[in-house]
Amino acid sequence: MRGPHNILRLVRTGATFERSGAMGVALDALDAPPRLRLAARVLGWPFRWMGYRGDPNLPPVTRAITALGPAYIKFGQILSTRADVVGTELADQLRMLQDRLPPFPTDQAKRIIETELGRPVDLIFSEFSEPVAAASIAQVHRARIRETGQEVAVKVVRPGIEGAFRRDIDAFHFAAGIIEALSPATRRLRPRDVVSHFESVVSGELDLRLEAASASEFAENTRDDEGFVLPLPIWELSSRRVLTSDWAEGLPLGDRDALIAAGHDVTHLGRRVIQLFLQHALRDGFFHADMHHGNLKVAANGDILAYDFGIMGEIDAYTRRVYAEILMGFIRRDYRRVARVHFEAGYVPRDRDEAAFARALRAVGEPIFGADASRISMANLLAYLFEVTERFGMQTRTELILLQRTMVVVEGVARSLDPQLNMWQAAKPVVADYIKGSLGPRAMARDATEIVQTLGRYGPLLPRMVEDMLWRRAHPEPRPQPPSRARRWMPIVAAGGTAFILGGGLGLMLG
């Protein structure tokens, strides 16, 4: 229930940060203004006794986040990739949230596996290790299948995680409602819709059957991508709370020193991470939406290994074209084009000044080009972009939340490998290839074919739809149903109309 009882949860959040000593660290890392610091202290200090104690062996912010629960941990994982926003020291502390959280007992994991798969673990696996990685939703064990000897990774959902996650999201919904009520200006950002979107995405992560399906589809899409590998699911040993997949060995992408010592080119890896993400998002419209360090490794031969497909993003063909044109506009520094695309897509209300919007975008983009990448403050850039979107009444696009969030995370991962990496230069060849393939003559022919196919699918319905439309214009009263004999003839007539449409459409394309 999203009632006032959630006030206690929100107060406890602030109290936990205060009690763990994380409040000051977080405010310093975010370079919070004096007023915000004072308000946080005034609101947090009197309720300090209500905060969760957490693990005193952990750094303050990590201690507070892990004590508060899975939804907070997910947020901390995102921040762990943004050293340019929260600072290198805090980003390093938060990185443990990716795959080094306290595990739950192995015996408990075995009981879950036996319940889900209907057989004792010892009959399924000849070897079964202690947890090798533990994250917010599940933990992973290394095992060997008894029948085949194949080495596998067995992922098991944490017990009780569903209820804990619902409680966190419930408080987030309540907070979003309060924010919209107290600050009408924030409604254009649609905080409640954002929380709902986050809820739907992570709820899907709790069902490992969906993750297996995503991994299978992702593998089909990327099978020809050079230097990119992902472990495949083993369906007969997977269920809602258990996922068994191939074991893949590699160095963590977050361990830059180890990668350099192993002879890997970290600059190339950084560029490759960005390019792979863009290829998957633009080419396929289906991309890994949780690409933090903990879900990426590097094989001995230099291949990038991706794990954990619980959160995947999906965007339609039209949105992909809009996104690509916006990126290409920034890359070419054509801010008029970027502004025009925003207006054409309906992202900015049409009553606003397009030329003024283009100038505001120029002020966002120009500091990036030609500047030393290490001197670009993503925090300041995002802050100014927020001001621009607010000034022009641009609303949050929930369908782009995962795409935008993943882009920020991927850039953070790439910049951790090479602080001098220029994201725009790395993205340019991928975006240019997509633009060439999606806006040229071949793309127009492909679009025409899809239109004809769509008309063909709805062909049997067209005669009736036209008749109903004409009848409603001439007769406001409801139309009687046609006699059964007429109904029998309608599919034949419709089929003839479909053949005419298909023949005419193909003739136009081939002629």
The pLDDT value recorded for residue 387 is 65
Q: What residues are annotated to the active site?
A: 290
If one compares 236 and 338, the residue with the highest pLDDT of the two is: 236
99-125 mean pLDDT: 91
If one compares 503 and 105, the residue with the highest pLDDT of the two is: 105
The distance between the two most distant Cα atoms of the chain, rounded to a whole number of Å, is 80
- Give the confidence band of 81 by pLDDT, cuts at 50, 70, 90: low
Q: Highest-confidence range of 117-126, 381-390, 437-446, by mean pLDDT? A: 117-126
φ/ψ of 138, rounded to 5, equals -150, 175
- DSSP per-residue codes, 389-439: HHHTTPPP-GGGHHHHHHHHHHHHHHHHH-TT--HHHHHHHHHHHHHHHHH
The pLDDT value recorded for residue 478 is 60
Strand partners, 141: 131, 154
Above 70 in pLDDT, residue 289?
yes
237-264 mean pLDDT: 94
- Give the confidence band of 184 by pLDDT, cuts at 50, 70, 90: low
460-469 mean pLDDT: 77
Above 60 in pLDDT, residue 320?
yes
The pLDDT value recorded for residue 214 is 94
- Give the confidence band of 83 by pLDDT, cuts at 50, 70, 90: low
The pLDDT value recorded for residue 2 is 57
Above 50 in pLDDT, residue 128?
yes
- Give the confidence band of 260 by pLDDT, cuts at 50, 70, 90: very high
DSSP 453: H
Is 310 within 8 Å of 135 (Cβ atoms)? no
Residues counted in the chain: 511
If one compares 371 and 308, the residue with the highest pLDDT of the two is: 308
Reported as type and span, the H/E element at residue 251 is: strand 251-252
The pLDDT value recorded for residue 35 is 63
CA atoms of 356 and 392, how far apart (whole Å)? 9
The pLDDT value recorded for residue 237 is 96
- 304-306 vs 228-229, strand pairing mode: parallel
If one compares 415 and 422, the residue with the highest pLDDT of the two is: 415
The pLDDT value recorded for residue 493 is 36
CA atoms of 287 and 278, how far apart (whole Å)? 8
Token pair 């149903």 is found at: 481
Above 90 in pLDDT, residue 461?
no
Q: Which two three-digit tokens encode residue 56?
A: 């005193």
218-226 mean pLDDT: 94
The pLDDT value recorded for residue 59 is 84
The pLDDT value recorded for residue 288 is 93
- Give the confidence band of 3 by pLDDT, cuts at 50, 70, 90: low
In degrees, to the nearest 5, what angle opens at C-alpha 181 toward C-alphas 178 and 182? 85
Is 413 within 8 Å of 304 (Cβ atoms)? no
φ/ψ of 103, rounded to 5, equals -80, 165
The pLDDT value recorded for residue 99 is 60
- Give the confidence band of 243 by pLDDT, cuts at 50, 70, 90: very high
CA atoms of 42 and 33, how far apart (whole Å)? 15
Above 70 in pLDDT, residue 472?
yes
Above 60 in pLDDT, residue 436?
yes
- Give the confidence band of 480 by pLDDT, cuts at 50, 70, 90: low
Neighbours of 49 (CB within 10 A): 8
Q: Tell me the pTM.
A: 0.71
Above 90 in pLDDT, residue 303?
yes
Residue 63 CA to chain centroid, in angstroms? Answer: 25
Neighbours of 499 (CB within 10 A): 12
Cα radius of gyration (the chain): 27
The pLDDT value recorded for residue 304 is 96
The pLDDT value recorded for residue 485 is 44
If one compares 115 and 415, the residue with the highest pLDDT of the two is: 115
Q: How do the domains of the chain map onto residue ranges?
A: 6-97, 248-439, 442-510
Q: Which two three-digit tokens encode residue 196?
A: 């709902």
If one compares 256 and 389, the residue with the highest pLDDT of the two is: 256
Q: Which two three-digit tokens encode residue 74?
A: 């997910």
Above 80 in pLDDT, residue 172?
no
Number of H helices, E strands in the chain: 23, 10
The pLDDT value recorded for residue 497 is 41
Above 60 in pLDDT, residue 456?
yes
Residue 176 CA to chain centroid, in angstroms? Answer: 20
Above 60 in pLDDT, residue 496?
no
Is 339 within 8 Å of 357 (Cβ atoms)? yes
